[in-house]
Homo-oligomer: A and B are copies of this chain.
Amino acid sequence: MKIKADSKNFGSVLRRRGLRLTRSREIIWEEIHRHPEIHRNAADIYRSLKKKGYKISLATIYRTLNLFVETGLARSEDLGEKHSHFEPDTPGAIHGHLICLTCGLVKEFKEEKLREELEAISHYFGFKLSKYSLQIFGFCDKCSRYTIKEKSKS
């Protein structure tokens, strides 16, 4: 838990851009750091904060998350559902996701070799890699033990 250190960095990133460090932004920042491995969507975050007694509108959640993404403080991922999922963006934390098509389990993985390979591919096609998004869909250990596959309702 180095939320403190992150928070400090978070504040300075905003200040450097002339943006304000508001209570709402702090709360949302802390919320997405609480379980960074669980990539949450805007509505989840909204409900979660409401339950904790914070009255932050969904519009503000969206504006704040987008602002985090634009300033490089967070990233937005498409995990095969219709909404976006958000996660803190720590430098060098580029990774992929394994997603179970049965139970919806999401597991992060990070492979340095893979990163090098993607950079080589980009280079080969004359592209300058900026970021990548990699999702592997399949069936997790537990779910692939059963023959009957049911659709998860995400």
Determine the chain B residues whose CB is within 8 A of the CB of A126 once the complex forms: 140-141, 144
The 8 A CB mask of A127-144 against B (1 = contact, 0 = none) is: 111111111111111001
User: Is A118 on the interface with B (CB-CB < 8 A)?
Assistant: yes
Interface size class of A (residues with CB under 8 A): 20 to 34
Query: With A78-B78, A98-B122, A122-B98 in contact, is A139–B127 under 8 Å at CB?
Result: yes
Q: 8 Å CB contacts to B: which residues of A99-154?
A: 100-101, 107, 109, 111, 113-114, 117-118, 121-122, 125-141, 144
- How far is it, in angstroms, between the C-alpha of A135 and the C-alpha of B94 when the chains are bound? 13
Measured CB to CB, the residues of A under 8 A from B are 78, 80, 96, 98, 100-101, 107, 109, 111, 113-114, 117-118, 121-122, 125-141, 144
